[in-house]
Structure 1
């Protein structure tokens, strides 16, 4: 692994930065004063100077369809969250270096995506490839509006690594391309890589010890939560500082009740029409009643994801919502007598589609418009989607990705319980509102969700506030 650089923030001193540094040093001006010293017009002029044209696709060159110069460094920034980033440093980047031995790979693994990357976007020196995810990500809809991204359609048209007779796009699961589109255009601004399932996690050991039955309906769930509370344990916690984790329990409860049409209305009528849906109102009201019953662990709203998950592992709460990365994220902290279990959010009585589970492509990779090595970035993505790239992901994360037919062996009980839901497409729906409406979701919806879960909003107040802000 000596040919893979450590996970530290290193911005390459390319030609554009070298020119800046030299000219500023001669004037006695520090590099940190660059943005304040330059006018917007000058900055735009510089951006235009280094703007790359569209990548040309050579269909006759299946080995190197983007014409990568193997001597040019590749600058990679990855969200180091629940899946960590060893799948990249010990997998994808090794595969890239095997193909381009001279290429220096500059790797940054961080949870603070926006803090680390935003200044680089502003100075027209972004990484070549960015895995834009996590609670501190940059919002996709804003990046698209600002014209900061490269259309990845050319990647989908390229021959796949393993079979040049089919395109990269043809290797992907249904709905993956759409999950990378923002707005009504056909451009593909992001490539989701993870295929995550969402639901509720619990300790199988705890349930066996107490004789508790895993609930399948909301009525059973509420009755069990009352029993759990009476035992002295909180029924529920969630990752309070990141209310994203409560989005699935609310929306899936609504989608299960009203069927796929509920999600379709969110996709086609994001305005008050979708938020006035009867099933959405019932889901919000159900969670408001849940909070009023005192079923949420005290202090949850101020917990980080790790705080809440640790409290759950230590037996302070019986249930926690999360995606399929949970078991991997906590693999080093799970008590010896704790065997994870998974269940979809229990359905409301009278639900039209009680078996639906959210299975959504996520962890979006993007290629910034002003990337120094966009051809290398596209080839990196093509390698990620190969059989070897997919195997590297599965071996390190025990999770599915967006490539069709992915399979892997695992002895993790939680993932084993979740996987059957993800392998049956007829019971899956996807939720891409965070991609399509990320700014609104972050600035309005998530604070309202936290207020609802603290008991500071009634269901009516929550819905009114959300609709008023649209």
Structure 2
């Protein structure tokens, strides 16, 4: 198969395809290596700063944006250089604003006490382990943006909502966040190895199993690995697109909302049987339970495994660890039946404002400031991924690799790729117990029938039954 993917910015091509369709008709990261300092402030200092600014006027009498603005953002595979640029420019635009950054790979855990004590930062980028948009909505932690966002205009004068590639998640019709990053999960492999050994790049589940069999026999390894410490990598990276392929948007909606009996449905059970087949054949590495996400990615790069489900941040996050000669290959996870197209489910990273924000007007100004063509272009240049904004022309951008055009042949073919959508992410209260049961199934400690029962129990608990 012709080389299609060698880096994380492939997603840009996917988005260009989606944008084209829209024009014709009118998108779990845990600990990472290194960290980002919070502008020299620790949590105690930040709490003191917050206390000292209580009572400051967020908006002065003439409507100018002023005061302190606290921003929390997770630093993972996308890095933090884009955030630094945007924050600096916002401070230049609003000189009466002082921004306090809370950032790093463990920031969700570090800031948890602030959220629990109803003293949150003003703006939060929801990404990484320990964060859940749906959970925050259910806990009443996010500001209802519905009325405000409907009046926000894009640079071209049209409603901003009309300029988003994928619209915001809605909870009973209300909007609590804006999807900032358009990403998708899929399965990665070493293009160099596959070409050298003549391995078939899978196009469906049957060929996926055949290729893993060939790798197991020739390499003497378990071809598939993921992180067991964070089960949502497999749940989002393999099962979510599989459910999309099996039952479309309706099934995805029932999965994430915990509909009664959803895990007992024929198409869902058939999908879980595929996972059991992978385990029974020995294709899933039996030590994956101890892997965190960076360890699973490192072992993948070292050739201990040949397939891994990750999002488009992978090459950027592991850039310093890629062996010589390794070339990233990517396909939508091939869990669909033969004859069916690949399935892609956009995985969005949202930006939100805290319900108890101390400076909500400045927070709104910052969110509006971010969603522009300038910063969407800058995001792609900094991260190799795409911001959730239509009309961003990257075709002549020297910082966007030309090999993206090669991927366009596949993404532009609806016979090969079908895009599905879910109404909102799964709540952590539901995703966690299902993920725990999933690990047991993948380790061979639970049958499909037992998994189904455990998943149904989890959905019942989630519904409060």
TM-score range, shorter chain: 0.7 to 0.9
Decide which moves more: 251-260 or 75-84: 251-260
Alignment pair present for 1:196 and 2:183: yes
Partner of 1:81: 76
Distance 2:320 2:406 in 1: 18
1:197, 1:418 within 8 Å by CA — same for their partners in 2?
no
Alignment pair present for 1:341 and 2:329: yes
Q: Which residues of 2 match residues 33-432 of structure 1 at below 5 A?
A: 69-90=64-85, 92-137=86-131, 139-163=132-156, 165-174=157-166, 176-177=167-168, 179=169, 181-182=170-171, 184=172, 186-231=173-218, 232-247=220-235, 248-266=237-255, 270-349=258-337, 353-360=340-347, 362-408=348-394, 409=397, 410-411=400-401, 417=407, 421=411, 427-431=418-422
State the 1:255 CA deviation. Answer: 2.4
2:334, 2:342 within 8 Å by CA — same for their partners in 1?
no
Q: Deviations over 1:1-45 (max 9, x none)?
A: xxx9736445154574578xxxxxxxxxxxxxxxxxxxxxxxxxx
State the 1:239 CA deviation. Answer: 1.9
1:242, 1:305 within 8 Å by CA — same for their partners in 2?
yes
2:206, 2:338 within 8 Å by CA — same for their partners in 1?
no
Q: Deviations over 1:264-290 (max 9, x none)?
A: 4436x6323322221111110111110
User: Could you state the TM-score of these two structures normalised by the residue count of structure 1?
Assistant: 0.80
Q: Deviations over 1:165-185 (max 9, x none)?
A: 2122221124x22x2x23x2x
2:434, 2:458 within 8 Å by CA — same for their partners in 1?
no
1:95, 1:383 within 8 Å by CA — same for their partners in 2?
no
Q: The residue matched to 1:236 in structure 2 has which SS?
A: coil
1:255, 1:263 within 8 Å by CA — same for their partners in 2?
yes
1:239, 1:308 within 8 Å by CA — same for their partners in 2?
yes
User: Where do 5+ consecutive residues of structure 1 fail to align?
Assistant: 20-49, 57-63
Distance 1:415 1:308 in 2: 29
User: Could you state the TM-score of these two structures normalised by the residue count of structure 2?
Assistant: 0.80
Alignment size in residue pairs: 414
Higher relative contact order (CA 8 A, sep 6+): 2
Q: 1:147 to 1:323 in 2, by over 3 A?
A: same
2:434, 2:455 within 8 Å by CA — same for their partners in 1?
yes
Q: 1:450 to 1:7 in 2, by over 3 A?
A: farther
Partner of 2:457: 468
Q: 1:337 to 1:377 in 2, by over 3 A?
A: same
State the 1:254 CA deviation. Answer: 3.0
Q: Which has the larger radius of gyration?
A: 1
Partner of 1:41: none
Decide which moves more: 116-125 or 407-416: 407-416
Alignment pair present for 1:439 and 2:425: no
2:204, 2:338 within 8 Å by CA — same for their partners in 1?
no
Distance 2:405 2:99 in 1: 32
Q: 1:254 to 1:159 in 2, by over 3 A?
A: closer
Q: The residue matched to 1:212 in structure 2 has which SS?
A: coil
1:8, 1:109 within 8 Å by CA — same for their partners in 2?
no
Q: 1:406 to 1:197 in 2, by over 3 A?
A: farther
Distance 1:402 1:370 in 2: 26
Distance 1:309 1:426 in 2: 25
Distance 2:435 2:282 in 1: 21
Distance 1:381 1:157 in 2: 14
Distance 1:326 1:290 in 2: 23
2:135, 2:429 within 8 Å by CA — same for their partners in 1?
yes
Q: The residue matched to 1:317 in structure 2 has which SS?
A: coil
Q: 1:252 to 1:120 in 2, by over 3 A?
A: same
Q: Deviations over 1:94-133 (max 9, x none)?
A: 2212211232221121232442222112333211101122
Distance 1:156 1:226 in 2: 51
Partner of 2:30: none
User: Where do 5+ consecutive residues of structure 2 fail to align?
Assistant: 1-36, 460-465
Q: 1:162 to 1:291 in 2, by over 3 A?
A: same
What is the root-mean-square deviation in Å for CA atoms of aligned residues? 3.1
Q: The residue matched to 1:308 in structure 2 has which SS?
A: helix
